[in-house]
Each structure stands twice: as C-alpha cells, then as structure tokens.
Structure 1
C-alpha cells in the first residue's frame, strides 16, 4: 500500500526538505501552505496522514487539528517552533498523535511517520484463525477491517474499528477508561481519558441501539445475551 501524506507548512525550505525525504521513502506527498487549502484537500482527496505546522497564516494549526479530529482519527504529526510544554500539551489534547519541535531531523520525522502508520494500520503477518466476529446485528471482518450493522457496511475510523473489535472479542467484559486508552491509543498516548468518552459517543451515534453500556464510575462494556 502506498501512503499519501499531506504536509501543511508555509516555510518553503521545510516544505522542500520534508517532501524530498518522504518521497525518497516511497510516500505520496501533497504540500499545502495554509490550513484553508489543506481543508479543501481533506474534503476532496483526504491524505492518510497530516504533518502539520502550528503557526500558519489564517487558520492556525490548532484549529485545523480540531476540525480534522471532529471527523476522523487520521494520524497527525505536529511540527512547531513552539517548544513550551503547554504548547505540546495543547497540540496533543486537540488530537495530535505526535509533536516534533523545530529544528528537527528529517530522519527522525520519517521514523515517527513509519511508527504511526504501523500503529494505526497494523500489517498482520499471520492469518488469524478467526477472521469474522458476529454478535447480534454486528458483523466484523478483522483482516479486511470492515464492519456491518444490520447488514449495512459502515464507514468508520481506525480507532472506531479498534474499539469495536476489542469489545466484540471481549463481550460482556467491562473495560476501564484507562484500559481502553492503553489498548486503543497505545501506551505512549499522552492525553485525557475524555478521548474514550468522545469515541464511545461517535460509535453509539453510528451504530444505533448497539448494546454498548456505561459502567458508571468505571468504563464501558458490550453487553450481549448468553448464547449469542
């Protein structure tokens, strides 16, 4: 699979360096000098990952990151000259998956790009013995990463799929928010457990009447009747 990366950066020198290194590694690259142009690209030909500067003309990178996160869990790497801890925390809280301070090594950026792709879209080397999970109205094809609800295929994000797969494989088990953060976002995730609640809300909205229960004061579980 050939990944497609959108680079949102208004510095011509950084544009050229990042683009050259990404293309050398086999990635397709789109260079955008503003968040407004990047948003237009998102609506017409969405990239598989964003590399995003914060200090941009017009809409800044924080606002662009927030808008993307309202629609998708596509990986986002923030690159910024802002190196204060509060700036990094804000970028990650708004949905950034990684934060790299300028000046940075292009090789380090490439390593982080590859790590994020590996984490968000794992390539399974072995065929799993059970590819299909069927629970009531929910049908999941794990290897194809496809989900059906009431016989209709649903468009879902990477994290929505990972969350549903986890619950379906562990039906009736209650997971704490902390467990879900580790299992879906990874141990290196730095942010609030509000991300779990937001993801659950999105799943419930897409999968109407899914028996995804709140375990008050603890977390969530997928409830099914015994024998299903």
Structure 2
C-alpha cells in the first residue's frame, strides 16, 4: 500500500504541480485548501505525512502543526513564503520535521519526502529491535521504548525532539557534543537552520526539569554529567 500524504495548500497552482510530481512517485494524496477541513478529514484518514502551507485562510499552518503534534508523531514538512530564520525555528519548535521555502523545486520536495520517510522507517525498525531499555542518572529516568521521562518519580511531559536530545546526551554521559553534532543527531543531516534550535531545546528541558545535569560547554555545546560527577 502506498504512503498517504495530506497536502494543505490554498494555491491551486502549487497543489497541481506538487500533485503531478508526487503521483509519479506513486504516493496517495489528499489535497485540501484549508486547515480546518484537513484536520477533520485526518480524524478518519490517518495520513503518513503532512505537507503544510503556513499562510492559510482561517487556521494557519503553525496552529495545525501544533494540533497534529499534540496527537501524533507523523512526519510534517512545512512549505512557506516566509524565509526568515525565526519562522523556520518556530516551525521546527512546533514539531515540524522539515521546512521548505517558496518558491521551491518540486524535485527537491520529492527528495525531502523520501529522505524523511526513510528516516522514519529506520527509526521504526530500530524501535522494534529495542528491548524495554531504561537509562538512569540519579533521580532522572528515561524509558526508551515507550519514550517516557521521570524526574524524582514524577513523569515529565516532553516533546519528541526534547526526548531525542535528552536520550542522546544520557547515552554518552560526560561527553561534550557540539551544537552542530546535536543538530545532525536530532534534525538530520539535511537540516540547514540555526544552531539556536539546540539552545532552545536545552532551555525548555531545563525549565521542565529543575536541576537537570546538562551543562553548557561555552563556545561549543553541551554535555550530560553523570550523577557521581554532578554531585562532587
């Protein structure tokens, strides 16, 4: 069965061009011109990926992205005429996996879709192969398979990327990671945004987990200190 992509775009010319290219790749498509209708349709449709325009009538693409992320980890690509760095960071912070600026090449969009589906496939295979793995450092526990985080026996709600950052650092306690390394680990090699996204993730985690032993390596990046070292 082909992968099902929901495309939410109010420009009929872009819809037609994107549709022509993606149908050649044998994707199943649902084309919608507004976020409200797309959200209602998705309740029963369960798409494998979303492609969202930002400037939509009614609910905008950012709000729809946020609603999707509250219920699902399905891949999201944002396409937008807004090319400011702050707009890209906002889209990524709200949970999108990629951001493409208009005007864009339909071939580039196809390539990004394929890379993102491949990344999801590798992740799912890795997840199936994992046993119920648990990492512990002092009062911090992360359960890998069900992606849960506990601090002083209280569960902490974290986003997918917050979890990936915490997991990556806890796996390699006391090792310093550069911001560029963390960008690649969490967003993938094809991410071209600012390393401020890493700083924002760390800031949010520190706010949620008071006393989190992630320390800043000034001018470089971050590291997770093990419990023994943190208490010295």
Give yes or no for contact 1:69–1:94 (8 Å, CA) kept in 2.
no
Residues 103 and 162 (structure 1 numbering): CA distance in 2 closer, same or farther, change over 3 Å?
Answer: closer
Distance in 1 (alpha carbons) for counterparts of 2:73 and 2:149? 19
Q: CA deviation at 1:141?
A: 2.4
Question: What pairs with 1:31-110 in structure 2 (closer than 5 Å)?
Answer: 32-35=32-35, 49-57=49-57, 61=61, 64=63, 75-79=75-79, 82=81, 87=83, 92-95=88-91, 97-99=98-100, 101=102, 105=106, 109=109
- Ranges in structure 2 where 5+ consecutive residues have no aligned partner: 93-97
State the partner residue of 2:191: 189
Q: Identify unmatched segments of 5+ residues in structure 1.
A: none
- 1:95 deviates by 2.8
* Corresponding residue for residue 95 of structure 2: none
| Equivalent pair of 1:69/1:95 in contact (CA under 8 Å) | no
TM-score normalised by structure 2 residue count = 0.66
Distance 2:158 2:47 in 1: 16
Q: What per-residue deviation string (whole Å, max 9, x for no partner) do you get for residues 85-121 of structure 1?
A: x83867534435132756865x875653353244357
TM-score by length of 1: 0.67
Q: Secondary structure at the match of 1:197?
A: helix
Distance 2:41 2:210 in 1: 31
Is 1:148 matched with 2:133? no
Q: What residue is the counterpart of 1:123 in the other structure?
A: 124
Query: 2:205 — aligned with what?
Result: 203
User: Is the Cα contact below 8 Å between 1:140 and 1:165 reproduced in 2?
Assistant: yes
**Residues 3, 200 of structure 1: alpha-carbon distance in 2 compared, 3 angstrom cutoff:** farther
Change (3 A) 1:48 1:213: farther
- Match for residue 215 of structure 2 among 213, 216, 225: 213
CA contact under 8 A between 2:75 and 2:116: conserved in structure 1? yes
Structure with more helix by fraction: 2
Paired residue for 1:172? 174
For residues 47 and 58 of structure 2, the distance between their equivalents in structure 1, rounded to whole angstroms, comes to: 21
Shift, 1:161, TM fit: 1.3
